[in-house]
């Protein structure tokens, strides 16, 4: 274990005493000798037509590059989605021994400022030639790099080649047990189970540093696919809790802070290095000797299924009729909370009913289908919306319906097995929803239309009993009018005689007519949600229609 000592200089900047220099994070935050000036690529080389500039005097000679190996070609390759590290998006902790092993042209790792890059794919694109790059093969190339490349924004150029961070050298503290009680910097290895160490993602770690007015907690997830919705932060009284979800695992930082902080904090994610920064504002500008005291499961990294659900009390701020029996509920998160429910996931609502805490799952929606196109009336990082059908003979929903504006209901952390990457490169998205089974489709639909450039068509087939039961019918029709990629078809099981649209239940005939794929090779996803028998029958029909497992996602509890 290493203890990172910190002190503050007069300007309130954090000074690292026994760490490598600050890690590269955002590409434009290059901290070279000329930091503050623009960073640029070795511009005296053919870079696909960019303006020539004067070469810095200590630059090495450029060597001719092969056809198709210009900077533009390299950028194209890095954007192609090809796995350039061979690690399938994982970030690992690299020991010196491991680094040394990767010292050949076709397997060449180099460490720069504590970060390790696999530069083999880059060899032929390196303007200084392969031999120059090989001088640092399997070793720390920071000094070499600084001699000739100090101005190069390598963090951005090589971000797809990032293998991970150099591992800290283990150094046992004098009194290990004493160290465990008071958190002053890096903690001992997380409590990782044996099986996890072998099979799951690498264990994250955390660190903290301070200035006069701020305390920053940094979580190194060692994964690239980290977003703002991967971390959930709750601060109540002096208890600070940050849960990071990494694949099916949960990493928890849970401490009783040693000093008071202000209500608002910010959460930043540096996706390309998998780093999360939580910036807390001190109440008083004093120097903290330690972060705080560990609380239950602090610094643990365990399968999510083995963690209990954490709840926070949210206030009901509005309730609006949507149909004769379905309402849009808006709940406000408590202050000092960061929680964004990922697309396709649900939460649990908890209420005390006749002396017992009752819990039911609900899927958050946007405040409207057009929320991506207009300024939200209320900021969506504070409010969570639900479309909930009230069953008069139900157990939970009549109680929920009884809540007055200002009353509280507890909301859990998100759950669910929908993965957003299922939507990547999608061409056709088919949504089959029955009744409130429409709720998970709302965010999926919004996300796909806004964020998936390859998307050509989204078709929703929406099953209800009568016209009066259709949730957000006019919004759906408006969206179909506005966005030609979107089509909606309503199917009613008990329509009036005036209904001229489709009627009946989910059936192979309806599905085969509806699910027309563009070509044999087009990437398709079919999402299903509704009463359990509806979903089960639908799944069977889809398999019979030869859609593969990967092409079907059913929303269940
Ligand atoms: P329940 O007490 O469960 O009763 C529901 C209906 O069934 C009532 O009409 C009741 O009379 C009848 N019933 C109950 N027991 C029996 C029985 N033994 N025999 C015959 N009939 C019976 N719902 C939403 O509205 N919005 C959502 O966003 C949403 N998201 C969900 C997400 C997931 C992952 C899951 C699994 C469900 C979701 N649901 C959602 C459904 C929700 O969780 C509840 O099941 C629903 O609100 C009903 O709860 P209740 O306690 O009021 O009714
Ligand atoms: P509903 O009004 O009872 O049913 C909606 C439509 O589906 C109606 O046309 C209904 O026909 C039809 N239907 C019902 N059972 C069917 C079956 N076995 N086969 C074919 N069609 C069937 O629906 P709801 O009350 O809104 O209930 C929605 C369901 O979705 C709930 O069970 C809820 O738990 C579930 N849900 C799940 C999630 C999730 O993420 N897993 C999210 C939200 C909702 P008839 O009424 O005429 O029979």
- Which of the four pLDDT bands, split at 50, 70 and 90, describes residue 34? very low
Residue 380 has pLDDT above 70, yes or no: no
Mutate to test the pocket of ligand 2, among 506, 530, 532 (most ligand atoms within 8 A of CB): 530
Q: Whose CA is nearest to atom 20 of ligand 2?
A: 534
The CATH label, of 2.40.30.10, 3.40.190.10, 3.40.50.300, 3.40.1010.10, for the domain at 311-415 is 2.40.30.10
Instruction: Report whether residue 347 contacts ligand 1, using a CB cutoff of 6 Å.
Output: no
Mutate to test the pocket of ligand 1, among 345, 360, 416, 536 (most ligand atoms within 8 A of CB): 360
Instruction: Compute the Cα dihedral for 332, 338, 340, 346 and give only its sign.
Output: negative
Please, how many CA atoms are within 13 Å of residue 150, restricted to the half-sphere of its CB?
13
- Residue 412 and residue 309 in contact, taking contact as beta carbons nearer than 8 Å: yes
pLDDT (mean) for 37-62:
33
- Residue 342 and residue 451 in contact, taking contact as beta carbons nearer than 8 Å: no
Rounded to the nearest 5°, which phi and psi values hold at 123?
-40, -55
pLDDT at site 65: 78
Instruction: Report whether residue 386 contacts ligand 1, using a CB cutoff of 6 Å.
Output: yes
Residue 49 has pLDDT above 60, yes or no: no
Work out the percent of the chain whose per-residue pLDDT is above 90: 59
- Which of the four pLDDT bands, split at 50, 70 and 90, describes residue 188? very low
DSSP state of 272: G
pLDDT at site 31: 25
Residue 363 CA: nearest ligand 2 atom is: 42
Kindly identify the ligand whose nearest atom is closest to the C-alpha of 387: 1
Which two tokens mark 191? 């409590």
- Domain boundaries of the chain, sorted by first residue: 71-166, 205-306, 311-415, 420-554
- State the Rg of the chain over Cα: 27
In b/e form, how buried is each residue of 526-557, taking b as 16+ CB within 10 angstroms?
bbbbbeeebbebbbebbeeeebeeebbbbbee
Which two tokens mark 532? 């359990």
User: How many C-beta atoms lie closer than 10 Å to residue 453's C-beta?
Assistant: 5
Q: Whose CA is nearest to atom 17 of ligand 2?
A: 534
Residue 15 has pLDDT above 80, yes or no: no
The CATH label, of 3.40.50.300, 3.65.10.10, 3.60.20.10, 3.10.120.10, for the domain at 71-166 is 3.10.120.10
- Which of the four pLDDT bands, split at 50, 70 and 90, describes residue 545? very high
Instruction: Report whether residue 272 contacts ligand 1, using a CB cutoff of 6 Å.
Output: no
CA distance 461 to 489: 5
- Which of the four pLDDT bands, split at 50, 70 and 90, describes residue 171? very low
Residues 6+ apart with CB under 8 A from 272: 155, 159, 162, 224
Ligand 2 centre to CA of 16 (Å) is 58
Residues 6+ apart with CB under 8 A from 87: 163
Residues 6+ apart with CB under 8 A from 470: 323, 462, 464, 476, 490
Residue 489 has pLDDT above 50, yes or no: yes
CA distance 355 to 358: 9
CA distance 59 to 361: 61
Q: Whose CA is nearest to atom 19 of ligand 2?
A: 534
Q: Do domains 205-306 and 420-554 have the same CATH topology?
A: no
Mutate to test the pocket of ligand 1, among 331, 343, 359, 361 (most ligand atoms within 8 A of CB): 361
Average pLDDT, the chain: 81
- Which of the four pLDDT bands, split at 50, 70 and 90, describes residue 354? confident
Burial class (CB in 10 A: 0-12, 13-18, 19+), 374: exposed
CA distances in angstroms from 510 to 337, 463, 486, 539, listed in the order given: 45, 11, 18, 14
Mutate to test the pocket of ligand 2, among 325, 435, 532, 553 (most ligand atoms within 8 A of CB): 435
Flag whether the pTM goes above 0.85: no
Mutate to test the pocket of ligand 1, among 363, 414, 433, 440 (most ligand atoms within 8 A of CB): 363
- Residue 387 and residue 471 in contact, taking contact as beta carbons nearer than 8 Å: yes
- Kindly report the CATH number that applies to the domain delimited by 420-554: 3.40.50.80
Instruction: Report whether residue 346 contacts ligand 1, using a CB cutoff of 6 Å.
Output: yes
- Residue 251 and residue 301 in contact, taking contact as beta carbons nearer than 8 Å: yes
Q: Are strands 364-365 and 356-362 parallel, antiparallel or unpaired?
A: unpaired
Residue 58 has pLDDT above 90, yes or no: no
Instruction: Report whether residue 412 contacts ligand 1, using a CB cutoff of 6 Å.
Output: no
pLDDT digits (tens, 9 = 90+) for 208-261: 988 999 999 999 998 887 899 999 999 998 899 999 999 889 999 999 999 999
DSSP strands (E only) in 211-274: 214-220, 231-236, 239-246, 249-257, 261-270
DSSP state of 182: S
User: Where does ligand 2 bind, in terms of residues with CB under 6 Å?
Assistant: 346, 363, 389, 434-437, 439-440, 463-465, 469, 493-494, 505-506, 529-531, 533-534, 537, 555-557
Ligand 1 centre to CA of 390 (Å) is 9
- Residue 430 and residue 451 in contact, taking contact as beta carbons nearer than 8 Å: no
Residue 526 has pLDDT above 70, yes or no: yes
pLDDT digits (tens, 9 = 90+) for 414-466: 999 999 999 999 999 999 999 999 999 999 999 999 999 999 999 999 999 99
User: How many C-beta atoms lie closer than 10 Å to residue 178's C-beta?
Assistant: 9
Instruction: Report whether residue 360 contacts ligand 1, using a CB cutoff of 6 Å.
Output: yes
Q: Whose CA is nearest to atom 3 of ligand 2?
A: 435
Q: Whose CA is nearest to atom 41 of ligand 2?
A: 556
pLDDT at site 168: 67
pLDDT at site 411: 97
- Kindly report the CATH number that applies to the domain delimited by 205-306: 2.60.40.790
Instruction: Report whether residue 115 contacts ligand 1, using a CB cutoff of 6 Å.
Output: no
- Which of the four pLDDT bands, split at 50, 70 and 90, describes residue 62? low
Residue 415 CA: nearest ligand 1 atom is: 34
- Sheet strand arrangement including 457-464: 502-503, 486-492, 457-464, 428-434, 524-529, 552-554
Ligand 2 centre to CA of 438 (Å) is 10
pLDDT digits (tens, 9 = 90+) for 83-129: 898 887 788 888 999 999 999 999 999 998 888 999 999 999 888 88
Between residues 38 and 414, the one the model is more confident about: 414
Kindly identify the ligand whose nearest atom is closest to the C-alpha of 414: 1
Which two tokens mark 534? 């509806």
pLDDT (mean) for 504-526:
92
pLDDT digits (tens, 9 = 90+) for 287-325: 999 999 999 999 999 998 888 889 999 999 999 999 999
């Amino acid at each position: 274990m290493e203890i990172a000592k910190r002190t503050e200089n007069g300007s309130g900047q954090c000074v690292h005493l026994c760490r490598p220099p600050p890690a590269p994070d955002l590409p434009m935050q290059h901290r070279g000798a000329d930091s503050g000036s623009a960073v640029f690529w070795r511009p005296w080389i053919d870079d696909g037509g960019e303006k020539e500039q004067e070469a810095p005097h200590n630059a090495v000679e450029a060597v001719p590059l092969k056809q198709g190996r210009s900077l533009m070609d390299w950028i194209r390759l890095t954007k192609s989605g090809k796995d350039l590290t061979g690690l399938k998006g994982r970030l690992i902790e690299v020991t010196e021994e491991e680094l040394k092993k990767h010292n050949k042209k076709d397997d060449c790792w180099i460490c720069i400022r504590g970060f390790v890059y696999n530069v083999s794919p880059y060899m032929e694109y390196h303007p200084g030639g392969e031999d120059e790059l090989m001088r640092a093969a399997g070793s720390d190339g920071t000094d070499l790099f600084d001699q000739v490349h100090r101005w190069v924004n390598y963090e951005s150029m090589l971000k797809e080649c990032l293998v991970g961070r150099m591992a800290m050298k283990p150094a046992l503290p004098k009194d290990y047990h004493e160290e465990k009680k008071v958190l002053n910097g890096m903690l001992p290895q997380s409590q990782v189970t044996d099986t996890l160490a072998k099979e799951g993602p690498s264990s994250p770690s955390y660190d903290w540093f301070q200035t006069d007015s701020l305390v920053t907690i940094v979580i190194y997830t060692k994964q690239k696919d980290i977003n703002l919705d991967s971390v959930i932060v709750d601060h109540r009284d002096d208890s600070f809790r940050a849960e990071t979800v990494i694949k099916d695992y949960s990493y928890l930082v849970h401490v009783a802070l040693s000093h008071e902080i202000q209500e608002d904090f910010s959460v930043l994610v540096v996706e390309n290095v998998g780093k999360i920064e939580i910036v807390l504002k001190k109440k008083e500008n004093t120097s903290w000797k330690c972060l705080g005291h560990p609380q239950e499961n602090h610094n643990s990294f365990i399968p999510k299924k083995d963690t209990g659900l954490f709840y926070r009390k949210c206030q009901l701020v509005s309730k609006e009729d949507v149909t004769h029996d379905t309402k849009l509920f808006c709940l406000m998160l408590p202050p000092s909370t960061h929680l964004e429910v990922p697309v396709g996931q649900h939460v649990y609502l908890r209420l005390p009913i006749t002396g017992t805490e009752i819990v039911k799952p609900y899927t958050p929606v946007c405040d409207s289908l057009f929320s991506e196109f207009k300024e939200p009336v209320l900021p969506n990082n504070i409010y969570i919306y639900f479309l909930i059908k009230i069953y008069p003979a139900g157990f939970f929903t009549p109680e929920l319906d009884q809540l007055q504006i200002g009353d509280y209901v507890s909301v859990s952390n998100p759950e669910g097995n929908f993965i957003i990457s299922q939507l990547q490169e999608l061409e056709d998205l088919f949504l089959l929803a029955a009744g409130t089974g429409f709720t998970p489709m709302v965010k999926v639909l919004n996300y796909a239309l806004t964020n998936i450039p390859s998307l050509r068509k989204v078709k929703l087939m929406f099953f209800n009993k009568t016209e009066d039961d259709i949730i957000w019918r006019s919004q759906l029709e408006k969206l179909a009018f506005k966005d030609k990629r979107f089509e909606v078809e309503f199917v009613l099981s008990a329509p009036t005689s005036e209904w001229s649209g489709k009627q009946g239940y989910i059936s192979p005939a309806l599905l085969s007519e509806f699910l027309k794929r563009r070509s044999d090779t087009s990437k398709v996803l079919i999402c299903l949600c509704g009463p359990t028998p509806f979903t089960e029958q639908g799944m069977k029909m889809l398999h019979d229609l030869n859609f593969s497992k990967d092409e079907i996602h059913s929303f269940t509890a």
